[in-house]
Structure 1
């Protein structure tokens, strides 16, 4: 009996003991996902600052993180420097020491998605990151004038932005949990507009707990005021239904902002009641002047694909004067999967009630197309389009003036046991040069790709890899939960 009582006491002590905290590492990235870039217009910075969301995908740590990286301090080659035959290594400089200061990192929830940067005139940037952890949050992080100091825009204690983050569930005024945006993943914002809304997509449908009828379920675009991403500003009016006029809702993956419409790409979805569901649309348009108007493009009637991922939109030149952009003409770049394809579409009458969309070209892509970034040349010239593929080790470059892929930049180690999985994209474009940043989710790094001359995008080259390689336990397929000594 005495031994039994002792064992019980030990169990009680064990249950009352909190596990030791495991904050995210301060020296490396953990499953990097969303990226954003900022370079102040004034000041000494040559290469600018890169912001990276660590997704903490296998939950080795208590949370994810956002970190700020000073590209000058890291020793990245000066922006726009021409390539030589002898200076650059074939695979770029490996920069493992990231020099992340105590004020250059904050905690966010796990499972971070994309990242968007809002920086209207008169203020420093604000970063937005959706996270799919329990609670389905939109995190907001403010950047200081130095480009490196990060603070929690929604509150937070001891640099932990999880406290005060905006949950997109249990919306004030909602009925039976509807509307809501569970499992948010995509985010976009008009970076220059002081009155901008942050558009957030989500991957799980919402509906009655007892219904097995998909027609009873809905998905939304959450439209949150960028200046006040707080619960006090949240209500049912911040949610735009995608399933209208008898259409099945489906789920959106990403959005891009045109002059009048939000372009939303459609992906596979799920719900607790119905399980996994196929996509219900490839591209829908939401009228920003009257968000109850959702237009179906019916691209599936022209090109059959399984689902879609990244989307981007730019203005086209005027027909009458090719040296001037016409806000009523837009070009849309959509990444499709199954088969992986870059769909290029032109939109005429883009500011009217009835825009007209036409597929211009469909270009095969490597597997797992994920995000797209458009690099614009001078008005009247064809754009350069960069694409990451999570199932491939390359960032591919498409040149509209040539009409084909002109470069595939290898960013991984080609290790079958640990593919790099390039995912997020951000760009720095100045004059006739560009720099791309690609998060390599699988190996815990960011690849830096330079195009010193936009007349020769085929010369694109990886010039640096930022971060130590993420170790992986081959027995479990997850990362090794380790910190690196400073």
Structure 2
């Protein structure tokens, strides 16, 4: 997402001046980034609940925030409803500006939130993980009540999740800046695994302040139990170096968890010592049985890509019995940039010491590909892949059965002075229908896209915009700082 590349410049013109408290508003979204969806299987809720991280990108306010939205309470059309009513369709997108966020559905987090993921093992309520790139590089952890709306900070049981938040920089025992994971951005967890670990990426390399060569630097992922992501449990053992075994250290953007390996994408990085550095890899595999083993995909040997962004991994099925998952085969979807491309990669020998990677397809994408979401059509069917793209302000949908893009759904107002910059993406998939939610970072809203029939993804339509449009000061290129609501 292009906006993230100019954080330091925007801070110089921050709206946050003086010593007066400026809590973020609960009535609107401030540079929304990560999003997550939840609906209990036995829920009486028709549309479920959406969780949105506000990044407070230009520091208008004292902090960022996480908001819980009741999609039924907002008046969103029922999930799975078709487009047969011309009068209703003529009213798209519905502008649902009153978010109805109560005091219990709103918690404070540090600024510069990245992705968001949700952990929901049996027997407990959902837990949200949000990395934030504010000074200190924190992982914010938010628990969700059984009602889907009540939020509390897992690390202090209060409403200000900045208190006792887990800093991923300079952990106990670190020396000369290593290990450390400054600038955390991507996050992943096995959603229903009670013993799951949460994985976090870092966009900065670390090393001695007086380092004279890149060889003195290192890059790390963070790997810690989802049940106990607390300060007193963090040690240097929770940091996984990616520049090992002769591999160059490089910053990671996103991460996806397979059966044996964790797949991390590589991006341009920043360092205190040398400033910006180019990406050193497109995708690396970390062995979960021995995290000191890291394998490189060597994708850049075959594809002249500059860096990578979002990634997802899904199971594949047995050739002799398509109803059964084959644990030795996985499929990875990866978003590359420069040029923007969706790579589909099959992993053979997914449990082996040295799996085989085969690129199945490479689909050109609009500029600015950021995040992706896999929409499964069931056993024996090809998936749909939804991709956010800031360059054309749209969500693109790729149908792997047809081998082509089948839809591009505009999510913003196409205002050159204020591009919508779609980034975060999450989905509600039930039966043969799906609903997509994408945060529009630039204009402060969430766009809702319905696909009533997964056999006809070309019919996808933007049906609603959640929140009021973020006002923009065109002289500074930042949002207009508005007073917060009670």
The CA distance in 1 between the partners of 2:225 and 2:18, in whole Å, is 38
Name the SS for the 1:67 alignment partner. Answer: strand
Equivalent residue number for residue 178 of structure 2? 178
Equivalent positions of 1:11-410 (< 5 A) are 19-84=19-84, 85-89=86-90, 91-155=92-156, 157=158, 159-410=159-410
Name the SS for the 1:171 alignment partner. Answer: coil
The CA distance in 1 between the partners of 2:18 and 2:437, in whole Å, is 39
Tell me, yes or no, if the aligned pair for 1:172 and 1:234 is still in contact at 8 Å: yes
Tell me, yes or no, if the aligned pair for 1:111 and 1:133 is still in contact at 8 Å: yes
Report the count of equivalent residues.
469
Tell me, yes or no, if the aligned pair for 2:349 and 2:356 is still in contact at 8 Å: yes
Deviation at 1:485, TM superposition (A): 6.2
The CA distance in 2 between the partners of 1:383 and 1:485, in whole Å, is 42
Equivalent residue number for residue 465 of structure 2? 465
Residue by residue over 1:194-236, the C-alpha shift from the partner in whole angstroms, topping out at 9 and shown as x without a partner, is 1111100011100111112111111111012111111111001
Deviation at 1:484, TM superposition (A): 6.9
Deviation at 1:323, TM superposition (A): 3.0
The CA distance in 2 between the partners of 1:354 and 1:181, in whole Å, is 27
Tell me, yes or no, if the aligned pair for 1:27 and 1:483 is still in contact at 8 Å: no
Residue by residue over 1:388-440, the C-alpha shift from the partner in whole angstroms, topping out at 9 and shown as x without a partner, is 01222100000011110000000000000000000000000110101100000
Name the SS for the 1:103 alignment partner. Answer: helix
Name the SS for the 1:206 alignment partner. Answer: coil
The CA distance in 2 between the partners of 1:433 and 1:258, in whole Å, is 26
Equivalent residue number for residue 3 of structure 2? none
Equivalent positions of 1:397-476 (< 5 A) are 397-476=397-476
Tell me, yes or no, if the aligned pair for 1:325 and 1:379 is still in contact at 8 Å: no
Tell me, yes or no, if the aligned pair for 1:433 and 1:452 is still in contact at 8 Å: yes
Residue by residue over 1:72-113, the C-alpha shift from the partner in whole angstroms, topping out at 9 and shown as x without a partner, is 000111111111233223641010000000100000000000
Q: TM-score, normalised by structure 2?
A: 0.95
Residue by residue over 1:276-312, the C-alpha shift from the partner in whole angstroms, topping out at 9 and shown as x without a partner, is 0000000000001110110111011111101000000
Tell me, yes or no, if the aligned pair for 2:22 and 2:484 is still in contact at 8 Å: no
The CA distance in 1 between the partners of 2:48 and 2:242, in whole Å, is 37
Tell me, yes or no, if the aligned pair for 1:110 and 1:132 is still in contact at 8 Å: yes
Deviation at 1:156, TM superposition (A): 5.8
Name the SS for the 1:86 alignment partner. Answer: helix
The CA distance in 2 between the partners of 1:470 and 1:264, in whole Å, is 33
The gaps in structure 2 that reach 5 residues or longer are: 1-16
The CA distance in 2 between the partners of 1:155 and 1:356, in whole Å, is 44
Deviation at 1:176, TM superposition (A): 2.4
Q: TM-score, normalised by structure 1?
A: 0.95
The gaps in structure 1 that reach 5 residues or longer are: 1-16
The CA distance in 2 between the partners of 1:332 and 1:191, in whole Å, is 18
Tell me, yes or no, if the aligned pair for 1:392 and 1:422 is still in contact at 8 Å: no
